[in-house]
Structure 1
Amino acid sequence: MFELQRFGGITRYFIELMSRLSGNLEFSNSIVFNDNFYLRNADSTFSKGFKIPFFRGAGRLSTIVNRLKSELDIYKGSYDVFHPTYYHPYFLKRLHKPYVVTVHDMIHERFRDAYSPGDPTCEYKERVIRNADKIIAISKNTKKDIVDFYGIDEHKIQVVYHGYGNSSGISKIADLPRRYILFVGQRNRYKNFNRLLHAFAIVRKKVSDLQLICTGSDFTLQERILINSLKMNDAIRSMFVTDSQLNYLYQKAVCFVYPSLYEGFGIPILEAFSEKCPVVLSDASCFPEIALDGGIYFNPHQIDSIVDALFKIITDDNLRRKKIARGSEILNNYSWDKMAMETMSIYRELV
Structure 2
Amino acid sequence: MADCTVVLLNWNNAADTIHCLRSLRYLRGVRPEVIVVDNGSTDDSVACIRAAAAHLGFPVTVLETGSNLGFGGGCNVGIRHALEQGADYLWLLNTDAIPHPDALRSLVEAMERNAQVGAVGSVIYDLERPEHIQTWGGGQVHLRLGVTHHHRHPVKPGRLHYLTACSLLLRGISLTQTGLFDEKMFFMYWEDADLCLRLRQKGWDLAVAERSLVWHRTSSSLGRTHPLKDYYVTVSVGHFQRRYAPSPSVAMALGMTARITRRAAMGRWLNVRAMVAALRHQPPPVAATPPRGLAPCSGTDILRVAIEASTLRGVKAGIGHYAAALSQHLASAPGVEVRYFTAQEYAELPPRPTGLLTRQKPRWRQWIPMGRQVQYQLQRWRLAQLSRSWHPNLVFGPNFIVPPTDAPSVLVIHDLSHLRYPETHPPERVAFMARQLRPAIARSSAVVVDSHFTEQEVLSYFPEAAGRLHVIYPGIESRMAVPPSAAVENALNALLKGDDRRFFLFLSTLEPRKNLEGLLAAYAALPAAIRGAHPLVLVGQMGWQESNFAAILTGMVARGEVRMLGYLRDELLPALYRRALALVYPSLYEGFGLPPIEAMATGCPVLVANVSSLPEVCGDAALYCDPLDVGSITAGMQRLAEDDALRTRLAAAGPARAALYTWEDAATQALAVMREVVGR
- Counterpart-to-counterpart distance in 1, 2:509 and 2:604: 20
Alignment of 1:134 with 2:478, yes or no, is no
Report matched runs for 1:245-264 at 5 Å: 245-264=572-591
Q: CA RMSD in A?
A: 3.2
Alignment of 1:326 with 2:649, yes or no, is no
Q: Secondary structure at the match of 1:82?
A: strand
Contact kept in structure 2, 1:217 and 1:238, CA below 8 Å = no
Normalised by the length of structure 1, the TM-score is 0.85
Instruction: Give 1:292's aligned amino acid.
Output: G
Match of 1:234 in 2: 560
Report matched runs for 1:130-279 at 5 Å: 130-165=442-477, 167=479, 169-170=484-485, 171-172=488-489, 173-174=492-493, 175-207=498-530, 208-217=532-541, 220=546, 222-227=548-553, 233-240=559-566, 241-279=568-606
Identical residues among aligned pairs (%)? 22
Normalised by the length of structure 2, the TM-score is 0.46
Alignment of 1:30 with 2:341, yes or no, is yes
- Counterpart-to-counterpart distance in 2, 1:14 and 1:288: 24
The alpha-carbon deviation at position 132 of structure 1 amounts to 1.2
Contact kept in structure 1, 2:309 and 2:350, CA below 8 Å = no
Deviations 1:298-347 (A, max 9, x none): 00010111111112221111111111111111122110000000001001
Match of 2:46 in 1: none
Q: Which runs of 5+ in 2 are unaligned?
A: 1-307, 356-360
Closer/same/farther in 2, CA of residues 114 and 11 from structure 1, 3 Å limit: closer
Query: Which of the numbers 316, 321, 337 marks the counterpart of 1:12?
Result: 321
The alpha-carbon deviation at position 147 of structure 1 amounts to 0.2
Tell me which moved more, 166-175 or 96-105.
Answer: 166-175
Alignment of 1:107 with 2:430, yes or no, is no
The alpha-carbon deviation at position 82 of structure 1 amounts to 1.3
- Counterpart-to-counterpart distance in 1, 2:427 and 2:342: 29
Query: Which of the numbers 622, 640, 644 marks the counterpart of 1:317?
Result: 644
Closer/same/farther in 2, CA of residues 280 and 145 from structure 1, 3 Å limit: same
Instruction: Give 2:386's aligned amino acid.
Output: D
Deviations 1:114-147 (A, max 9, x none): 3454431122112111221111001111110000
Contact kept in structure 2, 1:31 and 1:49, CA below 8 Å = no
Deviations 1:187-237 (A, max 9, x none): 212111111111111214241322000012369555342135669732101
Match of 1:83 in 2: 396
Alignment of 1:346 with 2:673, yes or no, is yes
Closer/same/farther in 2, CA of residues 267 and 110 from structure 1, 3 Å limit: same
Match of 2:385 in 1: 72
Would you tell me which structure has more strand in proportion to its own residues? Answer: 2
- Counterpart-to-counterpart distance in 1, 2:317 and 2:342: 17
Match of 2:31 in 1: none
Closer/same/farther in 2, CA of residues 285 and 71 from structure 1, 3 Å limit: same
Closer/same/farther in 2, CA of residues 101 and 66 from structure 1, 3 Å limit: closer
Instruction: Give 1:268's aligned amino acid.
Output: P
- Counterpart-to-counterpart distance in 1, 2:629 and 2:327: 41
- Counterpart-to-counterpart distance in 2, 1:87 and 1:216: 22
Deviations 1:251-295 (A, max 9, x none): 011100001000111111111011110000100100001100000
Q: Which runs of 5+ in 1 are unaligned?
A: 35-43
- Counterpart-to-counterpart distance in 2, 1:11 and 1:231: 29
Deviations 1:161-194 (A, max 9, x none): 0000264955222223412100001221211111
Match of 1:39 in 2: none
Match of 2:349 in 1: 46
Contact kept in structure 1, 2:504 and 2:580, CA below 8 Å = yes
Contact kept in structure 1, 2:474 and 2:666, CA below 8 Å = yes
Tell me which moved more, 308-317 or 285-294.
Answer: 308-317
Tell me which moved more, 279-288 or 115-124.
Answer: 115-124
Closer/same/farther in 2, CA of residues 97 and 218 from structure 1, 3 Å limit: closer
The alpha-carbon deviation at position 84 of structure 1 amounts to 2.2
Closer/same/farther in 2, CA of residues 121 and 209 from structure 1, 3 Å limit: same
- Counterpart-to-counterpart distance in 1, 2:409 and 2:663: 21
- Counterpart-to-counterpart distance in 2, 1:313 and 1:114: 29
- Counterpart-to-counterpart distance in 2, 1:330 and 1:183: 20
- Counterpart-to-counterpart distance in 2, 1:338 and 1:14: 15
- Counterpart-to-counterpart distance in 2, 1:107 and 1:276: 29
Closer/same/farther in 2, CA of residues 68 and 312 from structure 1, 3 Å limit: same
Contact kept in structure 1, 2:605 and 2:647, CA below 8 Å = yes
Closer/same/farther in 2, CA of residues 233 and 112 from structure 1, 3 Å limit: same
Contact kept in structure 2, 1:204 and 1:210, CA below 8 Å = no
Contact kept in structure 2, 1:146 and 1:152, CA below 8 Å = no
- Counterpart-to-counterpart distance in 2, 1:233 and 1:284: 32
Tell me which moved more, 66-75 or 178-187.
Answer: 66-75
Instruction: Give 2:416's aligned amino acid.
Output: M
Closer/same/farther in 2, CA of residues 73 and 3 from structure 1, 3 Å limit: same
Instruction: Give 1:70's aligned amino acid.
Output: L
